[in-house]
Chain A
Amino acid sequence: MNHRDDGAARRMPKRTRRIILAVVAFAGVAVYLFPIYWMLISGFKSSAEIFANPPTFFPSAPNLDAFRSVFVQENIARYLRHRVIIAIPVTALTLGLGAMGAYAMSRIRSRLVDVALVTVLLLQVFPEALIATPMFIIFKSIGILNTFFAVILATTSKVLAFALVILRPMFLQVPSELEEASYVDGCTRFQAFWRIVLPLMRAPLAVVGAIAFAQAYGQFVYPITLLNRQELQPGSVGIYAFIGAETADWHRVMAFASIYVLPIIALFLLLQRNIVSGLTAGALK
């Protein structure tokens, strides 16, 4: 029995009401996610059908021409390779530093943790577009501009704070008695962290890893700023390279976008339940 419901409950049988709610919810979500559907089907249209009026809500002659041209002419494979080369180390670095920091925040009992947490919360708010300029200059003077290393360092700073905020309450839920028992068996603190705490944190770490990967994979400001040498450009500008013009080949743009977001959508559908519960547990604490 739900007590937040409205007075309609009294006038309508509960069953009917629930069916109506489910139908409204399904329709609402379908409308909300329509743009994603529109992106996915636009790539299957021909260059004539894409500009048809009225537009077709299901491709009348689905074909793979746009996808083929994106692979052949736009070299999307190179772009995706760049994104993955950046996203995997960022995910690893974020999980490593995030787990360390969150574990320490859950075990140290002193004001130092509050200071660290407030520092992290305050540092996470600065827009990347503003950090990109000084970072460009700093990286230029230490000679790591135009390297993946620079983009990996920069992108990790964007996702790390988020990881700490999400992971800290999760680590707080692991009772420290478990570790204390292992000290009796001669474990060091590092061994206790590595062998006892981390295996228990597999699910939250998967959530944070998925979000870190998605964010690093989709990041645009740092690659375009820090990989600005001509031959690196195709790998960093990606989809942006061919949407500048007013008369874009939208079926090709959408085919590019569809392939690009496929790993993120797959990751999301796979971990949807965990991502939602992970966010609700941590994001505001």
Chain B
Amino acid sequence: MRRGPRGIDAAWLIAMAHARSPLLLVFLLAPVFYLLALIGFPILYNILMSFQEVTLGNLSKLLRPFVGLDNYREVFADPVFRQVFVNSLVFVGVNVVGQVTLGLMAALFFAETFAGAHFLRGLLLATWMLPGLVVGALWKWMFASQYGVVNFVLEALHAIGGPVHWLSDPAIAMTTVNIAHIWYIMPFSMILIAAALTAIPLEQYEAAELDGAGPVARLRYITLPALRPTLLAVACLVTIYSMRAFDMIFALTQGGPLDSSNVLPLLSYQFSFQQFKFGIGAAVGTFAVVFVFAVALVYVRTLKHEARA
């Protein structure tokens, strides 16, 4: 390596160092190719399988008989798929509304000045760190009809007349899954919203107060407009996270009873690994992939707008 007298040809050395940027390129491409190989490729492979007849016999072969849209036709004709598709929309919708609303309320509350505000807010994030399987098991115990603590408390408060069958009543199971998942991920949404909240300049509030704006007006005309891009980004992230929910639902209800709390990724997994209908599973999966990808495009656009603003 060439080593010039210090300072004399420093500029030249710096230029040389920048010319060594092939290292940077390797650094950039290594993780990107890793993700392309281990996420991008499997997703494309999944799309390919959705047009093929895949059996346990030809599982390891690349060339399998193509069946056109047969898998999709079978999927769309299946009433279970239609129900699960609606379930997924409900699950995502309730989570977006629930987490953004509760997350915003919690973030606004913890933005007040009082002892322990930051510590207590941070403590909530503990739920987000837990394994999904544990969250599912935990709520299954909380929601148990006979000995569960939820029914006990609600009965003690006279909020319910008799035990609610949170997990075994098809009309209620989806609500149960929603409650557990909002509990699980909401603190993460809250932290993201809280970060955007502290970025709003206090001068805006001072000026508004001088103009006689009350708390509602300040929320309506300063806080909410300033948070708009963040709330949209959080809504997208919650959609993405909710579509990834698998471990928790698997432990809590397994999608039951009668698929009443089933969602698309879980249904796809069940087709593939419980019924060994890999082609059907792939078709359901591709359907979910297209949905998630569309949301992801909105998310990336939102981030770009926010970066520019």
A residues near B (Cβ < 8 Å) are 2-7, 18-19, 21-22, 25-26, 28-29, 32-33, 35-36, 38-39, 42, 50-51, 53-55, 97-98, 100-101, 103-105, 107-108, 112-113, 116, 118-135, 137-138, 140-141, 153-154, 156-157, 160-161, 164, 179-180, 183-186, 188-190, 192, 211, 214, 217-221, 225, 238-240, 243, 248, 250, 253-254, 257, 260-261, 264-265, 267-268, 272-273, 275-276, 279-281, 283-285
Contact = CB atoms under 8 A, between A and B. Distances in A.
B71 interface: no
Given A123-B35, A157-B39, 5 more contacts: A129-B266, A218-B131, A221-B246, A267-B129, A279-B188
A141 B60 contact: yes
A154 B38 contact: yes
Given A3-B205, A138-B45, A97 B246 contact: no
Contacts of B25: 104, 108
B13 interface: yes
B214 to A, nearest CB: 6
Contacts of A283: 191-192
Query: B-side binding surface: helix, strand, loop or mixed?
Result: helix
17 contacts: A29-B123, A36-B127, A55-B147, A108-B24, A125-B292, A125-B293, A126-B39, A128-B244, A129-B244, A129-B269, A134-B46, A188-B1, A220-B132, A238-B133, A264-B131, A265-B129, A272-B125
A100 B25 CA distance: 10
A265 B126 contact: yes
Given A189-B20, A254-B141, A284-B196, A221 B116 contact: no
Which bucket holds chain B's interface residue count? 35 or more
A18 B114 contact: yes
A36 B147 CA distance: 17
A7 B217 CA distance: 12
Interface in B128-143: 129-134, 136-142
